[in-house]
Amino acid sequence: MKRLNVGIIGAGRIGKVHAENLAFRIPQANPLVIADVNQQAAAAVADSCRIPAVVADYHEVLENAEVEAVVICSPTDTHARIVGEAARAGKHIFCEKPIDHSLEKIDQALVEVARAGVKLQVGFNRRFDANFRRVRQAVVNGEIGEPHFVHIISRDPSPPPISYVKVSGGIFLDMTIHDFDMARYLIGKEVEEVYTCGAVRVDPEIGKAGDLDTVLIVLKFEDGTLGTIDNSRKAVYGYDQRVEVFGSQGAIRTENNYPNAAVISGAERIHRDLPLNFFMDRYTESFVTEMQAFINAVLEDKPTPVCGEDGRIPVVMGLAARKSYDQNRPVRLAEITA
């Protein structure tokens, strides 16, 4: 069996997830080295995942002739730079979302990728979730007729630290970006216009940081389909991830994932346990499936399922959503040029 030699850049939360999957759940992958300025964190991941080499400087990964592909899990503000450097080094690239908050930097990185002729996949893992893939299948197969609207509910169990909010790029580029990608994926069409309403209902400190924690977004697709996205930074009952697509011949929807299927019935109420509490539990399998898809694309010389343009468009949508909120009007994506 042919195996792909992989270098991992970043040993934080998501870097550890990808390292474990590459080491133990994807037989075609061979993780050779992990890089992080935090040597203790990198060494811990390397030890648990049996990765033979640990380095502090990611350039050593790019200079390693044995490394054929890199998985970029470093802070967001380093993504575009490392994508460009990895492309120039001739490495295939998996990059966590977003590539950057700046369209100019994204475009520069994508030019480097195209010039080098390497493969790039962006980490929108929710596309690989079994529930959402079934919704997409229903749309493709015409099981619900012509789609009329899509409704996406995405609510976190608790807000991130304010220190993170300040550098996150805001809710639209940090949280809603997944839902922008999901809307495009499910309907299979491009969004032309967005209109945003937003508020600070969870934590006043989020507002002081210049961000929002509660938003509703209306989408208008190029074919006339309508969409809504409902985001909150705090759902007290857990990680709320639901989707519905309504069409001319019916509808398809997904509910939350739960740790079990048990229902408790009593004299006064019927209830069940709360849904899985955060993305690390809810999307465990999708992280494996997306990375397997990347490894397969490289080994089999096929297009990656989430390309650079797929990484760029949700950023455009996020910038348009913020502009819509700031100016209190619908904004066409064509207005966002930089």
Same domain? For 153 and 263 the reply is yes
pLDDT at 316: 98
The residue ranges of the chain whose pLDDT is under 50 are: none
Tell me, what's the pLDDT at 279? 79
101 occurs within a structural domain: yes
Looking at the structure, tell me whether residues 38 and 72 fall in a common domain: yes
**Same structural domain, 60 and 142:** no
**In this predicted structure, what is the pLDDT of residue 231?**
98
Same domain (yes/no): 201, 60: no
The answer to whether residue 258 is domain-embedded is: yes
Q: Is 198 inside any structural domain?
A: yes
pLDDT of residue 281: 82
> 73, 90, 118: which is the final residue of a domain?
118
Co-location of 192 and 93 in the same domain: no
Residue pair 156/232 in contact (Cβ under 8 Å)? The answer is yes
Q: Is 306 within the bounds of a domain?
A: no
Asked whether residue 298 is assigned to any structural domain, the reply reads no
Q: What is the pLDDT of residue 296?
A: 98
DSSP 278: S
Same structural domain for residues 133 and 276? yes
In a domain, 296, yes or no: no
Sign of CA dihedral 79, 82, 83, 84: positive
Question: How high is the pLDDT of residue 282?
Answer: 85
Domain end (from 89, 118, 147): 118
Statement to judge: residues 148 and 252 lie in one domain: yes
Task: Let me know whether 104 and 184 are in one domain.
Answer: no
CATH number at residue 189: 3.30.360.10
Domain count, the chain: 2
Q: How far is CA 191 from the centre of its chain?
A: 18
Domain of residue 64, CATH code: 3.40.50.720
CA-based diameter of the chain, in Å?
A: 68
| Residue 167 falls inside a structural domain | yes
The DSSP string of 283-309 is THHHHHHHHHHHHHHHHTT---SS-HH
Q: What pLDDT does residue 75 have?
A: 94
Write the DSSP string, 152-209: EEEE-SSPPPHHHHTTS--HHHHTHHHHHHHHHHHH-S-EEEEEEEEE--S-HHHHHT
**Which letter does DSSP use for residue 248 in this model?**
T
131 and 52 in a common domain? no
Determine the pLDDT at residue 338: 74
- Residue 308 falls within a domain, yes or no? no
In terms of domains, do 111 and 171 share one? no
For 67-118, write each residue's pLDDT tens digit: 999 999 999 999 999 999 999 999 999 999 999 999 999 999 999 999 999 9
- For residue 326, the model assigns a pLDDT of 98
Domain around 107: 4-118
In angstroms, the first-to-last Cα distance of the chain is 45
Choose one of 57, 88, 118: the last residue of a domain: 118
Residue 241 and residue 325 in one domain:
yes
Domain check: are 175 and 321 in the same one? yes
* Model pTM score: 0.95
